[in-house]
Amino acid sequence: MTLILSNDDVERLLSMTECLDALEDAYVELAEGRGVTRVRSDCLTPTGREGAVYGLKSMDGVLPKQGIGAVRIGSDMVTWPRRDGKLRRVKVPAAPGGRYVGLVLLFSTENCEPLAIFPDGVMQRIRVGATNGLAAKYLAREDAKRVGILGSGWQAGTQLTAICAVRDIETIRCFSPNAENRAAFSTEMSATLGVDVTPVDTPEAAVEGADVVMCASSSIENIFFEPWVEPGVHLSSIKRPEIETKAIQRADKVVIHTRDATPMHIATKGLELPERTEGQGWAMTEAVDMAKLTTLPEIIAGKAQGRTSDEEVTCFLNNLGMGFQFAAAGAVVYRKAKETGAGRDLPTDWFTEDVHP
């Protein structure tokens, strides 16, 4: 039988701690060459919706240790509105009922069968948080207690959950341009984490004196700048553009997620993408030589050093996600779903065939 799960199922089955542990173990496999991952690819075309582009996105990876292969597929309507002075990448819920479309498919490496199918939304959020949390585990000071976060949207919550899982955090200050959003987010996360999360009126107020600064926005332009860098701080971003190049250059140690600098963009001839414009989005990767930087899997596997002193400024760029993460986290979800009876079974024959493909 092939298991069908919902986002609610995934949220119940995958805790942040479990995702941290699963990725940490899987990254050793990746660094040693036993796990494999493919760079994300986006097929991009115009649509009838003004200012929007259709994107068919896919990424995949295989974790032989767990006997799992995973494919993540997104069918996205993407826009780039300017909000609060920043150009942002925003997906539109264009599917019937005002919904998004993203799926994860898990396969067995032992007999090729489709094991499970579920939406990608909750898992992708948890795995982004866990990735940055693992970076903080190896790069933030052991005594880090104060966090400044820039952003109060969908990704920001798991960023805070992850940092609180790897460090004994006492205070968090949050800035985002929308005062109502940051106040509601701070109230919610204070209750969730049992840590005082305080909304502040400026980004400088959020980051000043922080041991860890986390960027968690939808901006494809800089939101953290070089003058704000302080000795001993750990900087963290969920996408390359968030941290100004000069600030990255101030760091003593810069670590990336993967050396794949950008997704493969296969676009209709003449299609203009704001994320490819100079000074924005993916174009900013050109200012950093990814080939010379250490990756997070290399540090976790002991092939490179993490933080070496309290005075070091460290920086982690979660520059690009990997399908491999969905194999690692998906293995946890599938195992626990089978143990607890979660989800719904459909006949595997519906997804296999007796005709040679």
pLDDT of residue 273: 85
**pLDDT band for position 17 (50/70/90)?**
very high
**Closest to 209 (Cα-Cα) out of 241, 171, 249:** 171
**pLDDT band for position 194 (50/70/90)?**
very high
C-alpha torsion sign, points 68, 69, 74, 75: negative
In the chain, pLDDT over 70 holds for what percent of residues?
Answer: 97
Q: How far apart are CA 122 and CA 130, in angstroms?
A: 12
pLDDT of residue 279: 65
Q: Read off the pLDDT of residues 21-46 as tens digits, 9 standing for 90 and up.
A: 999 999 999 999 999 999 999 999 99
Average pLDDT over residues 91-98: 96
Residue 190 has pLDDT above 70, yes or no: yes
In the chain, pLDDT over 90 holds for what percent of residues?
Answer: 90
Both tokens assigned to 354: 């007796």
Both tokens assigned to 258: 């993967």
Domains contained in the chain, CATH given: 2-123+323-350 (3.30.1780.10), 124-317 (3.40.50.720)
**pLDDT band for position 168 (50/70/90)?**
very high
pLDDT of residue 285: 67
Lowest mean pLDDT among 172-186, 197-211, 267-281: 267-281
- pTM for the whole thing? 0.95
Both tokens assigned to 60: 């995949």
pLDDT of residue 284: 67
The DSSP 8-state label assigned to residue 341 in this structure reads: T
Q: Read off the pLDDT of residues 261-295 as tens digits, 9 standing for 90 and up.
A: 889 999 999 998 887 776 666 666 667 788 889 99
Residue 114 has pLDDT above 90, yes or no: yes
The DSSP 8-state label assigned to residue 64 in this structure reads: G
The DSSP 8-state label assigned to residue 278 in this structure reads: T
Lowest mean pLDDT among 194-208, 240-254, 264-278: 264-278
Q: Read off the pLDDT of residues 51-69 as tens digits, 9 standing for 90 and up.
A: 999 999 999 999 999 999 9
